[in-house]
Structure 1
Amino acid sequence: MRLAAFIRAEIESILRDWEAFSKTLYHAKNMGKKELRDHAREMLLEIADDLDSQQDKTRQAAKSKGPAPKDGEETWAEVHGEDRQTSGFTVIETVSEFRALRASVVSHWSKAHPSMAGQRLEDLTRFHEAIDQAVAESLEKYATVKEMETRLFGAILLASPDPIYVLDLEGRFIYVNKATADLFAMEPETIIGKSTFDLGFSFASDFQRNLDKVVADQSTYRGKFVHRFASGSGERFEYLLAPVLDEQQDTEATVCISRDITEQAIAEEKVWHNAHYDLLTGLPNRRLFVDRLEQEIKHAKRRSQTLALLFMDLDGFKDVNDSLGHEAGDRILADVAERLMDCVRANDTVARLGGDEFTVILTGANQRKDIERVAQTIIDALAMPFYLGEQRIQISASIGISFYPGDVATPDALLEAADQAMYKAKKAGSNQMFFYDTFEKLDTLIEQ
């Protein structure tokens, strides 16, 4: 039997041996049987057809020197080379498959025909030449695709508006794209070999710590940093670190892609600020006030401390608003907010709940007399005249006060208690304060 006929007859056995070897290659481990075998089967059949063809000595000699002359159609070896490159196979892995294919055919042929002479030896020689040609064609296609991929990748890196760079295991730059050089306002050759520490970047410590973790864990990391580069571009950045693995799956470098998110971050902060702060006075609004009150109560509970909540309503403000207009009223409210802020400490919270209602959270309120002094300071400050141009405006405030945990234990109940105390103060006249526990005791006595 000629070798060509033998290959066709024994192709399944040959492919089983070849497949067993291919499965040992890293990039082939997760490939299915069909993905592995398709090219090999077609290449063997192509070689068998070649063995059946008539060839002169010149054509035979050319086979061992490189690819066959182009006839306009891709050979299966070329298809194999392109597929393996795009599948991530290394050159060594790709060549190893051909070696295994050669070994499988020779092993089966030798077992079937222990004696090699005459036509059998000639067939085997021509088979080796055909395999050599297939290797050359596959690697040429592999290299062509690889070069194109490299050019395309280079073009993408060059055109990318995002800074992209590669760092070695010590955190030194080994590649930077144009966007990186422009951002740093430095020539690439000045950056290469330096670390973020060497370049004096303010985020260097955190960046290097995250870089070390990526190298050690072979994981990706997303982070952010704030820095003003020499170019003056941007200020806030997000970045992605990813490990680069070699053929042994060891980390050999780290690639970083960063992006300027300054405008996005400012826009998000503006949206958040508008949702949590009163646009007129700049004070926290009801939403942020409730959140702060919940947090302060949790904090006071953990530390076994007390806090006081002041709820105030402006006396006489409605008349000012109605007589002078909303614009004048808005100016008064803004001035009220400034005076309130001057009456408390920096760690206390002043908020506008809406209309002419304001609240103050006083933390660490251990002495009742201290709270009373702050409340009186506020009453005195708001009793002082306000001026719109030369026009003198007079208003006052009614303040209700509740304590945590003395009066109530929840944010809603604390706010409700201070609100009730405020209405008691308002009924008592202008420039009044009222403690919730005081009128609660009075009400109890009246009921008795």
Structure 2
Amino acid sequence: MKYSNKLFFKLARRVIMVSAALLLLTILSFECLRFLDEKKTMEAKLTELMQTYSLLLSQPLSEGDERSIHLLTAGLIVDTDVQAFVIRDNRGRVIDAYGLDDQLSRATGLGAPAIPPWQANSGILGRVNFQAVASIQHATTSGSVVIGELGLRLSPQRIYTLLITDLTMALVLLGVISTVVLFTTRSAYIFFIGGRLNALLADIRRVERSADHQPVLAGGVEDELAFVIEAYNEAHRGRLASQQKVLEYQDSLEQQVADRTRALKRELEEHGVTSRQLFFEKQRVDVTLNSIKDAVFNIDGSGRVVLANPACEQLLGTELLECLGRNILDLLPHEDSDSLSLVQDIQGFIANGDMPHKTHEIYLRPKSGELINAEVTLVPFVDDEHSASGMAVFIRDVTLQSQITEQLTYEARHDPLTGLVNRREFERRLASLNSGFGDNDEQHVLCFLDLDFFKIVNDSAGHQAGDQVLKDIAEGLSYLLRTSDTLARFGGDEFGLLLTACDVDNALRICEAMRAFVASYRFASGGVDFIFGVSIGVVSFEPGAQSSKFVLNRADEACYAAKAEGRNRVCLSSAEQA
């Protein structure tokens, strides 16, 4: 396997980048100095041209000799550094101009030249703007008189061309030097390091494949890699020596174990028991106890715990070591849920050896403080003389089962939409109330309720709106009743009401309050307010006087009579009206 030279390329890249950066910094510094020198030269030339041509143009301008002026300015035109100039007389009239729009020069003078944004920034090199305006004076007997104006602008193009040429040559030279350094360094790296490093990596791969180690040659060079190779070879020699010692110790131990095993086998054969049978029995007991999800305690005749499985720790929140040796009653803080006392049962077993009842249902309170429904089973250990020498205590958490049973019982007895009891539970309570047990003079009232105009909202606004109306009305009606009364939903928009220990007059007042509540209830949907009413049939009965079915039929007939009379009213059974 060849080494990929990633280390070399990473090192060479960094060296080249640093060297290139330093070289570029040197070149840029040199170019900056050269730029400043050229800038000073251009500024000196501008000053010299302004002074020279101001003197040369003085005489012809004073005489108005434009031909001589044109001949003098021809020297400016042929100068490659001159970008533009303009000459005016003392009246502002343009005598000669070059490089500028004539109309622009008449209106604004020479003005500020258009400078590109990359030239206009003022940095360490300063603004590149070679422009000047000077007055042309003429000497007279009375002194110097200003007879005109000379505006001159020099082009920086020669400076830029020179800088670009120098930078291009420097970059080409940098690329050539970097390439030569890279290939030279790589050749030296491969010659001095690459071969030995590849040999070292190849041996490491062989050792990883469990092959024999082959000493790696250092190449006769004393450097850091040679020291690493020598240390690697020395480590392998030490490893081989250690492996040889381990093999010798292993052979010695195996021999000792074999001798001791034969001796133990002879001892076990003499006692008629083999180690395999003992291990199997122990494993079977451990696996059985550890696999049982119920908590299992073994207690002795004094009630102290001698054995416990891991489920005890999970159920009680007490570590197994803390359970051992403690009284079983101290580990089971509880409340009895049946008539049989678990404490009395265990105490009777401890004191007198009485056979305990088999199963108890208790509310166990572990260290977490959360009450648990538990089923406790007591199984005594009986010896050959049929006397109990200990007992197994099995504890099963039945909290979830109890909750499921309670939930199923609740769902079987209640309407899922309104939370009221359903018709089956209502009829069960009616039958219990009408069974005839209790005071013969006690009177009860049964009411049958049917909502009016409910089908309108169900058909117009949908079933979800209808369900919300039923829940709202059921909740409002419940607030008007006593805790001893029973309100049930029979299905659809029909309800039943059982008023215990209530005479007819009180029942009518309660029914009128319910009718008024339903009549005042409003449900808004889709911009429409829906109104409702309720027709209520009322019948009183005494326990055992009539069958429950007969009482229900009478209440149903009274409800239909309320609807026939115009809806939204309370109607007493016709038999009671008579």
- How would you bin the TM-score normalised by the shorter chain? 0.5 to 0.7
- 1:385 pairs with one of 507, 521, 532: 521
Matches within 5 A, 1:157-306: 157-168=289-300, 172-195=304-327, 198-199=330-331, 201-203=333-335, 206-211=341-346, 218=355, 220-227=357-364, 229-231=366-368, 235-298=372-435, 301-304=437-440, 305-306=442-443
Q: 1:407 to 1:241 in 2, by over 3 A?
A: closer
Specify whether residues 395 and 157 from structure 1 end up closer, same or farther in structure 2 by C-alpha distance, changes over 3 A only: same
Please give the per-residue CA displacement for 1:333-366, whole angstroms capped at 9, x wherever unaligned.
011111121111122211111011111111112x
Asked if structure 1 preserves the Cα contact closer than 8 Å seen for 2:504 and 2:540, the reply is: no
SS in structure 1 of the partner of residue 330 of structure 2: coil
Between the aligned partners of 2:409 and 2:322, the Cα distance in structure 1 is: 41
- For the pair 1:427 / 2:564, whether they are aligned, the reply is yes
Give the letter for the 2:462 counterpart: G
Contact 1:286–1:352 (Cα < 8 Å) also in 2: yes
**TM-aligned CA distance change 1:167 to 1:294, over 3 Å:** farther
Q: Give the Cα–Cα distance (whole angstroms) in 2 for the partners of residues 417 and 264 of structure 1.
A: 42
Identity %: 28
Q: Distance in 1 between matches of 2:314 and 2:336?
A: 19
Cα distance in 2 between the residues matched to 1:386 and 1:209: 62
Residue 373, structure 1, aligned to residue 528, structure 2: no
Superposition pairs of residues 35-74 of structure 1, within 5 angstroms: none
1:372 alignment partner AA: L
Deviations 1:146-204 (CA, angstroms, capped at 9, x unpaired) = 77545422331133222111345665544321110222121223234545653472326
Q: Distance in 2 between matches of 1:410 and 1:174?
A: 62
Query: 1:345 aligned to 475, 482, 485, which one?
Result: 482
Greater alpha carbon shift after TM alignment, 416-425 vs 367-376: 367-376
Higher radius of gyration, 1 or 2: 2
Cα distance change of structure 1 residues 314 and 175 upon mapping to structure 2, 3 Å threshold: same
Quote the residue 1:155 is aligned against: 287
User: Structure 1: which 5+ runs fail to align?
Assistant: 1-66, 71-135
DSSP 3-state at the match of 1:302: coil
Contact 2:413 2:424 in 1 (8 A): yes
Q: Return the alpha-carbon distance in structure 1 between the equivalents of residues 423 and 305 of structure 2.
A: 49
Distance 2:449 2:362 in 1: 42
User: 2:75 maps to which residue?
Assistant: none
Quote the offset at 1:232 in angstroms: 7.6
Once the two structures are superposed, what CA deviation does each residue of 1:67-98 show, in whole Å capped at 9, x if it has no partner?
9997xxxxxxxxxxxxxxxxxxxxxxxxxxxx
1:195 and 1:387 map into 2 onto residues whose CA distance is 65
Answering whether residue 563 of structure 2 is matched by residue 415 of structure 1, we say no
Residues 401 and 211 of structure 1, relative CA distance in 2, 3 Å threshold: farther
Q: Answer yes or no: is 1:398 the counterpart of 2:538.
A: no
Report the alpha carbon displacement of residue 240 of structure 1 after superposing the two structures with TM: 2.0
**Structure 1 residues 245 and 288, CA, compared in 2 at 3 Å: closer, same or farther?**
same
Number of aligned positions between the proteins = 306
1:299-314 matched pairs, under 5 angstroms:
301-304=437-440, 305-314=442-451
Q: Distance in 2 between matches of 1:204 and 1:189?
A: 27
Q: Give 1:134-149 correspondences, 5 Å limit.
A: 140=272, 148-149=280-281
Judged with a 3 Å threshold, the aligned counterparts in structure 2 of structure 1 residues 441 and 336 are, in CA distance, closer, same or farther, namely closer
> Could you tell me how far 1:220 is from its partner in structure 2?
4.8
Corresponding residue of 1:73: none
Distance of 1:361 and 1:440 partners within structure 2: 19
* 1:364 equivalenced with 2:495 (yes/no): no
Larger relative CO (CA 8 A, sep 6+): 1 or 2? Answer: 1
CA 1:346–1:193 in structure 2 vs 1: closer, same or farther (change >3 Å)? farther
Return the alpha-carbon distance in structure 2 between the equivalents of residues 418 and 195 of structure 1.
Answer: 63
Name the SS of the counterpart of 1:203 in structure 2: strand
Given the two structures, how large is their TM-score scaled by the length of structure 1? 0.60
Equivalent residues of 1:246, 1:252 under 8 A apart: yes
CA spacing shift, 1:160–1:406, aligned 2, 3 Å: closer
Quote the Cα distance in structure 2 between the aligned partners of 1:278 and 1:354.
9
| Cα separation, partners in 2 of 1:156 and 1:358, compared to 1, 3 Å | same
Distance in 1 between the 2:304 and 2:572 partners? Answer: 65
User: CA, structure 1 residues 391+203, in 2 after alignment: closer, same or farther (shift >3 Å)?
Assistant: farther
Give the TM-score normalised by structure 2: 0.47
